[in-house]
Amino acid sequence: MTTELATAEPTTVASAGRVRAKTAPSRRSIKVWGPPIAVLALLIGFWYLLSMVILPVDRRFLLPPPHQIVTEGFLNGPVITDIIRSLGLTALVALSGLVVAIVIGVGWGIGMSQARWIELSLFPYAVVLQCIPILALVPLIGFWFGYDFTARMIVCVMIALFPMVSNTLFGLQSVDVSQRELFRLQHASRWTTLLKLQLPAALPAIFAGLRISAGLSVVGAIVGDFFFRRGTPGLGSLMSVYQSRLLASELFTAIIFAALFGVVVFWFFGVLRKLAVGRWYDTTRS
């Protein structure tokens, strides 16, 4: 009898361990996804309350309930076709502007990190570029560069540039002093110090700026579409059409697609950041 209990006890412990291993991921999933889903449910409930109870009857068409957006927007074939086509054009403009902003921003930040006088000379202009109201410059950009792809891309670059500049500079200047001294003791050149010390250490900050700029580039592409009515239409132009025709369900559908595209871009660069610097940076930070 004692032998049977002794042999059964390890089996019971092992099965209990497997049960805990199976339930642990589910609990983690609930902790991760539970709060956002609960907040989404509250928002949808408030949306219904606002659109069907609080708003006056003669104005409820301006805020259709969620099920009406699904039926008249997401389940409407022609509307979805137009939105996806326009979203593709907007995505091309946003990603092109983001690439240009990355190249200029990283180069600008590297240049300022190499000498104090360069930083003092150039950083104020980065701040000025960030503070300029872009809506005031959009008509001028249209006059100078036309109303098609190039002008839209310039708007994206102007909106998305500053986070790349500031985060790159911050990351390059955040290198530990002792590590800098070690490279000096080894008589490392400025180029070697930049490539083997500063840039690897600055990658987390650069990727943080990249994620911010990615979202801003989507905003820039849509803003350009709103004002550049001529040329190739994008998602912003389609939103403007829906707005002028008071097509609220279609307008909300386009807004949701734009937001989802921004989330996907933000998520993609987050995954890219984990692949590039996730292991060693998370270990160092912890």
Estimate to the nearest angstrom the gap between the alpha carbon of 121 and the chain centroid.
Answer: 30
Domain ranges in the chain are 2-60, 65-285
pLDDT at 8: 47
CATH architecture of 65-285: Orthogonal Bundle (1.10)
As a whole number, mean pLDDT of residues 27-45 equals: 81
Tell me the C-alpha distance between 233 and 152, whole Å.
Answer: 10
Residues 11-32 have pLDDT tens digits of 554 454 554 545 556 677 777 7
59-64, long-range: CB < 8 A, 24+ apart: 61/246, 61/248, 62/246, 62/248, 63/248, 64/248, 64/249, 64/252
Q: For residue 104, give the amino acid letter.
A: I
Better-predicted residue by pLDDT, 52 or 100: 100
Residue 33 falls in which region: left (phi positive, over 0), alpha (psi -120 to 50) or beta? alpha
CA angle 75, 81, 86 (to 5 degrees): 130
Q: For residue 161, give the amino acid letter.
A: L
Question: What does the block give as tokens for 138?
Answer: 């959009």
Q: How confident is residue 266, by pLDDT bands cut at 50, 70 and 90?
A: confident
Asked whether residue 205 carries a pLDDT value surpassing 70, the answer given is yes
Residues 1-10 have pLDDT tens digits of 444 444 545 5
DSSP letters for 106-145: HHHHHHHHT-HHHHHHHHHHHHHHHHS-HHHHHHHHHHHH
Residues 161-182 have pLDDT tens digits of 999 999 999 988 888 777 777 8
Name which of 267, 225, 243 is nearest 86 in CA terms.
Answer: 225
Tell me the C-alpha distance between 270 and 265, whole Å.
Answer: 9
pTM of the model: 0.78
pLDDT at 5: 43
pLDDT at 98: 92
Asked whether residue 150 carries a pLDDT value surpassing 80, the answer given is yes
Residues 213-225 have pLDDT tens digits of 988 888 888 888 8
